[in-house]
Chain A
């Protein structure tokens, strides 16, 4: 019943011209206000009455939230940067392989032209595609609120819950905080992303996997693996990572480590796939991303 689409509920609309103004508005309205970035996820949720904010604070008129730039060894991406710009960015392709690979299989042009990276993260969807990629790239996010600014590692940004609690945040972001940027430290190594969905355009992931690895003298020196759509939140796989660190980057080790994911995740069964299928697929996808990195295949 909650899935039924109805016209948008009534709300007050405000379009602040600065971040400071937006923060004041969010503080003033507490949890009753909702930020609007791309709107591609928010509007359907409002039509399904999954949320009914009394105030919409539109971030689209605020300058300075959309950029892609290198600062020293770090890649900084404005939270309001649209997926199309990231998809077409040469810097993202060169410096953040897993993110570029995720963008290649995300949504359709009409959605990518509106959806933003900040929105994709702040929605806290367990099946969003940028989180696994950004997790293996060791990204952090900058949150600005009335008490100032804080930088949170993405690995601590999503809240892990056994069961979704209505009205509770799926991320650690506070009601008066706004995500301003994503910071990706660029390190030696290579990363990629794979997802399993029913089709490419607008397809929601059944399972998604990203991996980063630095291989020195044939051994995994630094390795990070993350999974999406197979738990309550996108998450790093510490077991798979531990099984690979320091080990020769060969087929046997990759195969053995990939299987460990099945002990680590508790996926749900739904219309897109059973829990058992998701576990199996997560393991297969991990094996494939690691093999791609180990063999230098893109």
Chain B
């Protein structure tokens, strides 16, 4: 089936079989390899993408379901040569170790900050609840999101 949708701001068109998950479609068909396959059953959050601005587990959707929708992955967060504020904040605050959970964390954090520019630690914990980090770096991740919120208030840029 032909799937036409907006991926990171650009219209794309690609054939997908009904039984391919959005996760496999993005990784294998469209080479969006930032989207990670962890558990493939909605528990780890590594496959998080934004669907019309809201975080969803791409392993729990079919590729054919994103027709006419807007999907954002990490590839769509930064401009060439320039990281987004959330990415910078994670980088500067050691908000990652092995990096496997990082794309999901960044997108969950972006979705939170788009909706709530001044989140409390509790708000951040709730927003990242579905994203697991096996390196146990939650403290730095939470600090990174708080820092991103501060940076957005004071800085210019995306």
Binding site for B on A (CB under 8 A): 5, 7-13, 15, 36, 38-40, 43-44, 47, 56, 58, 60, 84, 107-111, 113-114, 200-202
A216 CA to B65 CA, complexed, in Å: 51
* Contact yes or no, A111 B18, CB < 8 A: no
Instruction: Report chain A residues within 8 Å CB of B152.
Output: none
How big is chain B's contact interface, by range?
20 to 34
* Contact yes or no, B48 A8, CB < 8 A: no
* Contact yes or no, A43 B20, CB < 8 A: no
* Contact yes or no, A114 B56, CB < 8 A: yes
How many pairs of residues, A versus B, come closer than 8 Å at their CB atoms? 90
Q: Is B119 an interface residue (CB 8 A)?
A: no
Q: A43-B62, A110-B45 are in contact. List 19 more A-B contacts (CB 8 A).
A: A8-B19, A9-B19, A10-B17, A10-B18, A10-B19, A11-B19, A43-B21, A43-B61, A44-B40, A44-B41, A44-B42, A47-B40, A108-B45, A109-B54, A109-B129, A110-B108, A113-B51, A114-B57, A201-B130
Instruction: Report chain B residues within 8 Å CB of A56.
Output: 18, 62
CB distance from A166 to the nearest CB of B (A): 20
Instruction: Tell whether A13 pairs with B1 under 8 Å between CB atoms, given A8-B19, A111-B42.
Output: yes
Which chain B residue has the least Cβ–Cβ distance from A202?
Answer: B43
Instruction: Report chain A residues within 8 Å CB of B130.
Output: 107-111, 201-202
A8 CA to B60 CA, complexed, in Å: 11
A200 CA to B122 CA, complexed, in Å: 13
A60 CA to B54 CA, complexed, in Å: 16
A40 CA to B45 CA, complexed, in Å: 13
Instruction: Report chain A residues within 8 Å CB of B54.
Output: 84, 109, 113
11 intermolecular pairs with C-beta atoms under 8 Å apart: A5-B39, A8-B20, A8-B62, A9-B19, A39-B61, A44-B42, A44-B60, A60-B65, A107-B130, A110-B45, A113-B54
CB distance from B15 to the nearest CB of A (A): 13
Q: Is B151 an interface residue (CB 8 A)?
A: no
Q: Is B89 an interface residue (CB 8 A)?
A: no
Instruction: Report chain B residues within 8 Å CB of A12.
Output: 18
Instruction: Report chain A residues within 8 Å CB of B62.
Output: 8, 13, 36, 39, 43, 56, 58
Most chain B CB within 10 A, of A40, A56, A108, is at: A108
Which chain B residue has the least Cβ–Cβ distance from A7?
Answer: B19
A124 CA to B108 CA, complexed, in Å: 30
* Contact yes or no, A113 B65, CB < 8 A: no
8 smallest CB-CB distances across A and B, nearest first, come from A108-B130, A201-B129, A13-B18, A44-B41, A8-B19, A110-B130, A108-B129, A110-B57
A117 CA to B84 CA, complexed, in Å: 36
Instruction: Report chain A residues within 8 Å CB of B20.
Output: 8
Instruction: Report chain A residues within 8 Å CB of B35.
Output: none
Instruction: Report chain A residues within 8 Å CB of B131.
Output: 108, 110
A154 CA to B57 CA, complexed, in Å: 30
A201 CA to B125 CA, complexed, in Å: 10
Instruction: Report chain B residues within 8 Å CB of A11.
Output: 18-19
**1/0 per residue B75-112: CB within 8 Å of A?**
00000000000000000000000000000000010010
Instruction: Report chain A residues within 8 Å CB of B108.
Output: 109-110
A9 CA to B20 CA, complexed, in Å: 9
A118 CA to B117 CA, complexed, in Å: 32
One of B21, B39, B42 near A40 (C-beta < 8 A): B42
Instruction: Report chain B residues within 8 Å CB of A110.
Output: 42, 45, 48, 55-57, 108, 130-131
A12 CA to B64 CA, complexed, in Å: 11
